[in-house]
């Protein structure tokens, strides 16, 4: 297939390698001239240091070049950039399959990526690819399993067949809502897991946080129309585990720095990659109050990040909530 990748950060670059190895023709768009020049030289040290990038992956600074002759378009940009990119590709878009890799909710609307694309592009060929898949490992061909979800199972199967290989195993799923929400909200829980790491690396606390985090992701998801089972799959529990525990996780890292006493602005300023949970937690905070959904870890994470709450006080408050039944 001719595949156009929009976004040449760590995940876009890494998935380009997977797709090239699978025999596809790959063009990748970047807005950054320095990344464009590096890719032409067979590397992307800004986002994937130490990994060689085949020169047959063709970089471009022109968005129209990745759209015009592509049969499939991959979106590998942050969730907050989806609406503006969708507006830009709208005049060029000719009903190709769009595969979204972003994991987040739009701050101002609380919308999922598929809802934004539906609004702007009236898209009917959408697949979201999500699951435990750190770019740094995928780029090194470390065995990874992931989920391709779509309302149209034929499309999910096309993605499964074209993206899978011996080290990249794709399952299909028909629950877009659950797969998108699992991927978006686990980033918030991973920030809180990182806070635990930064404060003391407490194993008991972190295991509880992952488990109760999954409970609140599931609660929110069901209210939004997701299927419960999706959250015990790769795009739910699987991604939550890897993001809460991995040395590669950007979200866990933000939390760890907060736990060590650093300020959010300072942490973000020194990172060149996106930590989606920092934004998704904003989208969720107001909404869960309005909808009356119980998400105490999400709430406390917001208060620590944006209302200057001491993380130890937040943990104390979580522990002192009214005692209740687990289910």
Ligand X SMILES: NC(=O)C1=CN([C@@H]2O[C@H](COP(=O)(O)OP(=O)(O)OC[C@H]3O[C@@H](n4cnc5c(N)ncnc54)[C@H](O)[C@@H]3O)[C@@H](O)[C@H]2O)C=CC1
Ligand Y SMILES: O=C(CO)COP(=O)(O)O
Q: Taking every pair of C-alpha atoms in the chain, what is the biggest distance, in angstroms? A: 59
Choice from 250, 282, 301, 311 touching ligand Y (CB under 6 A): 250
282 is catalytic: no
Of 86, 148, 209, 242, the residue at the interface with ligand Y (CB under 6 A) is 242
Taking residues 221 to 260 in sequence order and writing x for each that binds ligand X by CB under 6 A, - otherwise, the string is ----------------------------------------
111 binds ligand Y (CB under 6 A): no
Q: Which stretch binds ligand Y (CB under 6 A): 28-36, 113-121, 147-155, 235-243?
A: 235-243
Interacting span for ligand Y (CB under 6 A) from 65-73, 126-134, 156-164, 207-215: 126-134
CA–CA gap between residue 8 and residue 174 (Å, rounded): 28
* Residue 223 known to bind ligand: no
Site string for ligand Y, 172-211 (x = CB under 6 A): ---------------x--x---------------------
Q: Which does 239 bind (CB under 5 to 8 A by kind): ligand Y, ligand X, none?
A: ligand Y
**59 lines the binding site for ligand X (CB under 6 A):** no
Binding pattern for the stretch 79-118 against ligand X, x by CB under 6 A and - elsewhere: x-x--xx---------------xxxx--------------
Site string for ligand X, 62-81 (x = CB under 6 A): --------------xxxx-x
Q: Binding to ligand Y by residue 134, rule CB under 6 A? A: yes
Residue 175 touches which of ligand Y, ligand X, none (CB < 5 to 8 A by kind)? none
- Residue 282 engages ligand Y in binding (rule: CB under 6 A): no
**Binding site annotation covers 103?**
yes
Please tell me whether residue 133 binds ligand X under the rule CB under 6 A: yes
Residue (of 171, 135, 128) closest to 18 by Cα position = 135
Place of tokens 């659950």: 178
Q: Which is nearer to ligand X, 109 or 289 (CB)?
A: 109
Three-state secondary structure string covering the chain: CEEEEECCCHHHHHHHHHHHHCCCEEEEECCCHHHHHHHHCCECCCCCCCCECCCCCEEECCHHHHHHCCCEEEECCCHHHHHHHHHHHHHHCCCCEEEECCCCCCCCCCCCHHHHHHHHHCCCCEEEEECCCCHHHHCCCCCEEEEEECCCHHHHHHHHHHHCECCEEEEEECCHHHHHHHHHHHHHHHHHHHHHHHHCCCHHHHHHHHHHHHHHHHHHHHHCCCCHHHHHCHHHHHHHHHHHHCCCCHHHHHHHHHHCCCCHHHHHHCCCCCCCHHHHHHHHHHHHHHHCCCCHHHHHHHHHHHCCCCHHHHHHHHHCCCCCCCC
Torsional sign, CA 286, 287, 292, 295: negative
Q: Least Å distance between CB 133 and ligand Y?
A: 5
Sequence-separated (6 or more) residues with CB below 8 Å from residue 52: 42, 43
Nearer to ligand Y, 33 or 269 (CB): 269
**183 annotated to a ligand binding site:** no
* Catalytic residue (one of 186, 206, 282, 300): 186
Annotated binding-site ranges for sn-glycerol 3-phosphate: 103, 131, 133, 186, 239, 249-251
Contact residues for ligand Y (CB under 6 A)?
103, 132-134, 187, 190, 239, 242-243, 248-252, 275
Catalytic residues: 186
């Amino acid at each position: 297939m001719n595949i156009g990748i929009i976004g040449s950060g760590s995940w876009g670059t890494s998935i380009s390698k997977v797709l090239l190895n699978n025999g596809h023709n790959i063009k990748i768009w970047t807005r950054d001239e320095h990344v464009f020049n590096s890719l032409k030289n067979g590397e992307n040290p800004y986002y994937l240091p130490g990994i060689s990038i085949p020169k047959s992956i063709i970089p471009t600074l022109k968005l129209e070049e990745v759209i015009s002759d592509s049969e499939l378009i991959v979106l590998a940009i942050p969730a907050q950039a989806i609406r503006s990119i969708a507006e830009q590709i709208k005049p060029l878009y000719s009903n190709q399959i769009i595969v979204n890799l972003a994991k987040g909710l739009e701050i101002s609307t609380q919308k999922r990526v598929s809802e934004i694309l539906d609004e702007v592009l009236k898209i009917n060929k959408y697949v979201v690819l999500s699951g435990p898949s750190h770019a740094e490992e995928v780029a090194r061909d470390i065995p990874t399993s992931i989920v391709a979800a779509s309302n149209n199972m034929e499309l999910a199967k096309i993605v499964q067949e074209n993206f899978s290989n011996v080290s990249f195993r794709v399952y299909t799923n028909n629950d877009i809502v659950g797969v998108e929400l699992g991927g978006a909200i686990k980033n918030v829980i991973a920030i809180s897991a990182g806070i635990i790491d930064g404060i003391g690396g407490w194993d008991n606390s972190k295991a509880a946080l992952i488990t109760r985090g999954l409970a609140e992701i599931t609660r929110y998801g069901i209210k939004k129309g997701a299927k419960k089972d999706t959250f015990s799959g790769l795009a739910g529990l699987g991604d939550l585990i890897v993001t809460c525990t991995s040395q590669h996780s950007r979200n866990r890292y933000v939390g760890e720095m907060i736990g060590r006493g650093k300020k959010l602005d300072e942490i973000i300023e020194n990172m060149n990659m996106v930590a989606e949970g920092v934004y998704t937690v904003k989208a969720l905070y107001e909404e869960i109050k309005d909808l009356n959904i119980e998400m105490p870890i999400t709430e406390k994470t917001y208060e620590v990040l944006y209302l200057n709450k001491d993380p130890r006080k937040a943990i104390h408050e979580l522990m002192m909530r009214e005692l209740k039944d687990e289910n």
